Amino acid sequence: MKTSKLFILFVATLLSACSTTNVVSDYNPNIDFSRYQHYLWSESSGADKNISPFIIDNVKAALQTQLNHRAYLNAPAPQAADFIVKYYLAEAADTIDRSPRLGLGIGSFGGNFGMSSSVGVPLGKDTVNRNVQIIIDFINRADMKLSWRGSLVVELHNSDPKANTTMIEEAVAEILNQFPPGKL
């Protein structure tokens, strides 16, 4: 009985270690976020130079969809905006997915002397996974100061634009689940 409880605890710990990167958010506690109803896009939104314009467009589209689902409206005029939406995509550290390797070794052992060597033979190519950090800022229009920020690192696929679109949509939704902070 005790062994099965330890096994369940081990599996739960292992599964929690496999979870994706968590959303990081911060906010100004003096802001009344319930007053936020209309937004305006910041003209200074963008990305690092090496990030594809298609990825940037996907982030803006996903962000607009999520804001609309949450009943925030695009302001009809700049004066009607309660907050400004700014987003930025930054390159994050790439990760390398090592292909499986086969180890071949030779060795000898005689008397008090031993010697061994081995060679790793790759069975496939290493894959470099591109990681992008999505940063979303809400700026209070009344004083033009940052009121809320959320960010998440996303691993993009090198050859599947549809998978990237889905990953970005999920990431933006996950970030905005942290807003408004009073609902947490």
pTM for this entry: 0.71
User: Quick check: is 117 in a domain?
Assistant: yes
160 burial class (0-12, 13-18, 19+ CB within 10 angstroms)? exposed
Give tens-digit pLDDT for 93-104.
665 555 555 555
Domain span at residue 165 reads: 21-183
User: Quick check: is 11 in a domain?
Assistant: no
> What does residue 7 show for φ and ψ, rounded to 5 degrees?
-65, -45
User: Quick check: is 65 in a domain?
Assistant: yes
Q: And the tokens for 40?
A: 């305006």
User: Quick check: is 48 in a domain?
Assistant: yes
**pLDDT band of 121, cuts 50, 70, 90:** low
Looking at the structure of the chain, the number of domains it has is 1
User: Quick check: is 16 in a domain?
Assistant: no
| CATH label of the domain that carries residue 158 | 3.30.160
